[in-house]
Structure 1
Amino acid sequence: MQNSTNSPSKRRDVAGATIVVTGASSGFGRGAALKLAAQGANVVLGARRAAALEALAAEIESAGGSALAIGMDVSNARDVGRLAQAAVQRFGRFDVWINNVGIGALGLFWDIPIEDHARVIDVNLKGLIYGAHVALRQFREQGFGTLINMGSIDSEVPLAYQTSYAASKAAVLSLGRSLREELRLAGNEDIKVGTIMPWAVDTPWWTHAANYTGHEPRMLAMDDPEIVIDAIVRACVEPKEEMPVGWISHASNVSHHIFPDLTERMSANIAHREVEKASPLAPSTGAIYQPMTDTATIDGGIRARMKREDDQDGPSK
């Protein structure tokens, strides 16, 4: 067991830490990997799009950083184990594991094929369980570590048109809470677990989601990805049990504890109005089964499209 004074819980920054980031090819994962590497961390990148990961690793290393790219699918337990093994082989250990991958299926529950609901659970819940399992085994062996799970405000407030996604994110929050208690009971005080809970954010997630709403995806007052990326970086040294991100997430979290039924009804009404505002779109499985090749970006371009829709004063439905 290594000396726990090297624990991320005692770090003031990420310099010199080895950090595993799943879902690193786009969105939060890509942004966090770039920022963590710029601050001196070794980053281990995992995602299905191996070519995009290799390009990201090359970008990081050309800027003076250190990166390792591993093509993998979090819904495959062997792939997750291979990612952890590669990190240890290259860097001797990993200090932080960021369970970032998440997919969605948009639409009324009964309109979405059951296979798509199952895929959401395979990735969003089982994939995070696989990541947590390999990470905590490594952390217990070395005596320290930080597990960061990507939840959502849906972890607290279930949202209409995202039923299986919301269910998976509620499970992610429960997973983190239970793990914290088990670690306490086992005396592993230098192993930390935190859950990040953002509101809707403008990343490629919306384009990647399976969509059976009949409309382009959109949501009220989307946040910029940068605030979530910054929260992920902070969590690497200051993890908290629950980390709402952005004022809407904070407000929704508080409101749901005080007025749960009203908050759920208001959130559902918002989701319904946003669906009705959007431009028509044919049903699609998005990228939940096969990755897209042209969306390896941080920003999803959703706010720009929403502005065009709103400027048109009501697109055809």
Structure 2
Amino acid sequence: MRLPLAAGLLATATLAGCATSTHLSRSELSRVAGRTYVIVGASSGFGRGAALRLGELRANVVLAARRTDALEEVAVKIRATGGQALVMTTDIAEPDQVKALADAATRQFGRIDVWMNIAGVGAAGKFWDVPVADYSRIVDVNLKGVIYGSHVALRRFLAQGSGTLVNMGSVESEIPLAYHATYAATKAGVLSLGRALNEEIRHAGQARTIKVATVMPWAVDTPFFTHTANYSGHADRMVMMDGPEKVVQALVWVSLHPREELPVGWKAQMASTGHHLFPDLTERISANIHRAELAKGSAVAPTAGSVHQPMAEGRDVEGGVRARMKAEDARLRDKPKP
């Protein structure tokens, strides 16, 4: 029997208040030094932020993405702060390139301690308005690419007896969001992949030393929104957007304290818990909110974004989305009433 709505909302708020703290002490942070991290998707957003932070902590950081020049920028900053960096131009959707990435990391640093699959692409718009070619590429990168990276990483971890695999999911791994249908489907696949892999690792008798974690952020202000394909007619946006520093901190934390699923922050935790309690209601509310937010976005022409080819724009950790949203909201407030 379902809880009454008021009781369910109270339970959701209570659980959200218990969201996992990802703060690390100085002694914990010191454990990063000398460890080797492979970061797929290190040219911008979460991947760039994690790479820079790990470099500050004296890690060996292997930087992978399609944009070589952006990776070289990150490598220079890492070396300047005392870390070591290796640049490997990689398209995660190409399994041969993923294997070459792992081989290069092992040659350079001897082993891989943590592998992070962070690269991702998306598309906004009504499902039937987005070209099938874009959807195919989204699946290639977000799901098949994570499978390729996970396969290579786990083979290395099993051979050396330890390692942590971190895959980037989303709150959309749990709550499929209207107008992000295929993106949400791939992120749900990433979550299921992680759950299944942890069971196989347990059966292999390696569960104490080899872990698979899925990190699930709320909507975050990164260049993802600049890079996303968009056929909605409006710039994509989401209410109560987080800053990227929260997720960067969570990525470092989970590399030392791996857990199967990590919703990042109270909003992601509340959404996840709410969906467990009231799945249909949560999906309807989320869809209505996203539709309303899209309607507020600036007008944009149809674009494939960086789905098929990398873009020069959007090279930082932060994406400037919150500033854009603030300007859009101001224009709507100042718009004359009919």
Residues 74 and 130, structure 1, Cα contact 8 Å, conserved in 2: yes
Identity across the alignment (%): 56
Moved over 6 A (4+): none
Residues 176 and 283, structure 2, Cα contact 8 Å, conserved in 1: yes
Residues 279 and 315, structure 1, Cα contact 8 Å, conserved in 2: no
Give me the whole-angstrom Cα distance separating, in 1, the residues matched to 2:169 and 2:31: 23
The two structures, once aligned, show a CA RMSD in angstroms of 1.3
TM-score, length of structure 2 as denominator length: 0.89
2:132 maps to: 114
2:214 maps to: 195
Residues 277 and 315, structure 1, Cα contact 8 Å, conserved in 2: no
Residues 12 and 237, structure 1, Cα contact 8 Å, conserved in 2: no
| C-alpha displacement of 1:11 | 9.4
1:16 counterpart = 2:28:
no
Give me the whole-angstrom Cα distance separating, in 2, the residues matched to 1:145 and 1:24: 20
- Specify the SS of the correspondent of 1:215: coil
> Which residue of 51, 67, 71 corresponds with 1:53?
71
2:118 maps to: 100
1:78 maps to: 96
| C-alpha displacement of 1:12 | 7.0
Give me the whole-angstrom Cα distance separating, in 1, the residues matched to 2:302 and 2:29: 47
1:300 maps to: 319
1:163 counterpart = 2:178:
no
1:153 maps to: 171
> Which residue of 159, 181, 194 corresponds with 1:176?
194
| C-alpha displacement of 1:295 | 1.5
Give me the whole-angstrom Cα distance separating, in 2, the residues matched to 1:279 and 1:12: 45
1:3 maps to: none
Q: Deviations over 1:210-263 (max 9, x none)?
A: 000100111111100000000000011001111001221110000000000000
2:157 maps to: 139
1:66 counterpart = 2:89:
no
1:273 counterpart = 2:292:
yes
> Which residue of 217, 231, 242 corresponds with 2:261?
242
| C-alpha displacement of 1:315 | 8.5
Change in 2 beyond 3 A, CA 1:93/1:11: farther
1:208 counterpart = 2:227:
yes
Structure 1 residue ranges without an equivalent (≥5): 1-9
1:264 maps to: 283
Give me the whole-angstrom Cα distance separating, in 2, the residues matched to 1:14 and 1:259: 40
Give me the whole-angstrom Cα distance separating, in 1, the residues matched to 2:104 and 2:324: 40
Residues 210 and 287, structure 1, Cα contact 8 Å, conserved in 2: yes
Give me the whole-angstrom Cα distance separating, in 1, the residues matched to 2:308 and 2:193: 25
- Specify the SS of the correspondent of 2:293: helix
Residues 135 and 147, structure 1, Cα contact 8 Å, conserved in 2: yes
Further displaced range: 53-62 or 271-280 = 53-62
| C-alpha displacement of 1:40 | 1.7
- Specify the SS of the correspondent of 2:198: helix
1:253 maps to: 272
1:38 maps to: 56
Amino acid across the alignment from 1:33? A
- Specify the SS of the correspondent of 2:145: helix
- Specify the SS of the correspondent of 2:242: coil
Give me the whole-angstrom Cα distance separating, in 2, the residues matched to 1:239 and 1:186: 18
- Specify the SS of the correspondent of 2:222: coil
| C-alpha displacement of 1:67 | 0.5
- Specify the SS of the correspondent of 2:183: helix
Count of residue correspondences: 307
TM-score, length of structure 1 as denominator length: 0.95
